[in-house]
Amino acid sequence: MNNFKISTRLIILNRDRAARAMIAALTILSAMAAAHAQQEPISTDRPDFVESSKTVGKGRFQIETSVAYERDSNAGARATTLATPTLLRYGIAPAWELRLENGGYTRQKTHDPATSTSATERGVAETSIGLKWHTHDGEGAAPAIAWLLHVDLATGARAFRGKGMRPSLRTVFEWELPQDFSLGVMPGVIYDTTDSNRRHLAGILAAVVGKAWNERFRTFVEIAGQRIASSRNGGSTVTYDIGAAYLLSNDVQIDSAFSWGANKNTPDFAWTVGLSVRF
């Protein structure tokens, strides 16, 4: 009889422990789910040219990858380029992130009807390393502000890399406007090198207007002076851009954008589709 009582007590005690463990596990899972639900949605630097003022957050890793197509005509010759640009972002502090960017595998086809000649170049594009610092949160009429320091490196296939190391500094200003509109402006400067090894300063200036239609879908229009320089230093590259992004979840975004060249130095047309994931 005593053994029976002891066994019964042990069974009841084990059931109580199991119940408490289950309640604790459910509490932890509920807290994790609530924290995930309260987390801000992913903020990406694509598909527009103007960067986001936000960083990914300490200890967070984010990949923004895409397929990009470009078409250009110059003096009768035609060129089409297909690339896979990818940006990796890692938060080293709440307001700081490290950045590694590469143009990815690139294939460029050129054709000159005048001479009936064609050529194809393939290879990996050059790499850029960088740092982003979020200095101000937007409040009222004051914009959110971030600084980006990048260095383009002469790496990768010869056909798709520039000359030497080319540092750049950009500042992002972002305003939240009424009716879920937003405005972003990004001035900057790059210490560039021409094909003839001439070192010079070139400007960067772009502005984007965005519209959030709901919690998941947003669109934008943009004018982007990606490179502003004199004709002696290669001329300016300016595009008109439109695009959209859709959140599959707080940590996953798909997007697409179209660009048209604003002058003869800029490719006639470009298109991109991308995927961004935060871990």
SS3 of 49-92 = CCCCCCCCCCCCEEEEEEEEEEEEEECCEEEEEEECCEEEEEEE
Amino acid at 70: E
Do 6 and 129 lie in a common domain?
Answer: no
Do 18 and 98 lie in a common domain?
Answer: no
Collect all residues with Cβ–Cβ distance below 8 Å to 165 and sequence separation of at least 6. 151, 152, 153, 154
Cβ neighbours around 252 below 10 Å, total: 14
Q: Determine the pLDDT at residue 257.
A: 98
Q: Determine the pLDDT at residue 116.
A: 82
Phi, psi for 19 (deg, rounded to 5): -65, -45
Residues in the chain: 279
Do 199 and 100 lie in a common domain?
Answer: yes
Do 4 and 128 lie in a common domain?
Answer: no
Do 228 and 251 lie in a common domain?
Answer: yes
* Domain coverage including residue 29: 1-38
Do 67 and 14 lie in a common domain?
Answer: no
Q: What is the pLDDT of residues 100-146, one digit of tens each?
A: 999 999 999 999 888 888 999 999 999 999 999 999 999 889 999 99
3-state secondary structure of 37: helix
How many domains does the structure of the chain reveal? 2
Percent of all residues in the chain with a pLDDT value above 90, rounded to a whole number? 78
Q: What is the pLDDT of residues 21-58, one digit of tens each?
A: 555 544 543 444 444 445 799 999 999 999 999 999 99
Tokens of 159: 């056909």
Please give the Cα distance from 21 to 17 (Å, whole number): 6
pTM for the structure as a whole: 0.84
Do 101 and 138 lie in a common domain?
Answer: yes
Tokens of 236: 């300016």
Do 111 and 197 lie in a common domain?
Answer: yes
How far CA 279 is from CA of 36, 62, 86, 91, in Å, comes to 12, 6, 16, 11
Do 24 and 162 lie in a common domain?
Answer: no
User: What CATH number is associated with residue 268?
Assistant: 2.40.128.130
Average pLDDT in the chain: 89
Name the pLDDT band for 20 (thresholds 50, 70, 90): low
Name the pLDDT band for 76 (thresholds 50, 70, 90): confident
Please give the Cα distance from 125 to 269 (Å, whole number): 20
Tokens of 23: 């309640």
Do 33 and 92 lie in a common domain?
Answer: no
Do 124 and 193 lie in a common domain?
Answer: yes
Tokens of 104: 């990815």
Collect all residues with Cβ–Cβ distance below 8 Å to 123 and sequence separation of at least 6. 105, 106, 156, 157, 158, 159, 160
